[in-house]
Amino acid sequence: MGFMKGIAPIRRTTKYLSNSPLTFKPRVKIMTVNFNDAQTEENHQGARDFVFWNLPQVQYKNPDVQILTFKNMTPSPFITCFLEDNTKVYFDVDSQSNKDILDRLVKTLGKSKEVLEEEAVASEAKSNPANFCRRLGFSRHCICEMPGQIPCSSLVPVPRHWRGKWYNQGHRWESDD
């Protein structure tokens, strides 16, 4: 598996990416992380770890938020979040660990656990029009009740060349009786 090579390949697994506690509120539009990449500066280590370990998770959980990193442009590390009403929220992350940085972001701009649970329940709503089968409690019996679909195969026989069994047995060019 090619994606399991390189430094810390666990960061590219779906289980790891979806395990982030940070889901931004809808008003957050852009997040920038400023830090220095030089290994000699200990006060930037938490920001470097945050970018390496937690930033892929944040990007995965927040696809509508633009996330930028600026390396080697600042004497002290900080994070800036731009909100939809053109305000900025600054976080000084000097000498903080990546866990502390993540906790501050969750507490300040993240959705609460109650809101996330309500959204999960709402997304599992049973009123999806793509669901069918009256036996399971949906409004349609069969997909053939939708406009634009072929008639139900129990009422109108399907042409032979549409049937997988007939086609896969090598009857591709025979005439249809």
Question: At residue 32, what are phi and psi to the nearest 5 degrees?
Answer: -120, 145
State yes or no: pLDDT of 23 exceeds 70.
yes
Q: Where in the chain is the domain with CATH 3.40.30.10?
A: 2-122
State yes or no: pLDDT of 131 exceeds 90.
no
For a pLDDT cut of 90, what percent of the chain falls above it? 56
Distance CA(22)–CA(149), nearest Å, equals 42
For a pLDDT cut of 70, what percent of the chain falls above it? 92
CB 11 within 8 A of CB 53: yes
CA distances from 89 to 23, 70, 109 (A): 16, 17, 9
CA distances from 88 to 57, 75, 94, 109 (A): 22, 20, 18, 12
Average pLDDT on 99-107 reads: 96
- Domain 2-122, CATH 3.10.310.30 — does that match? no
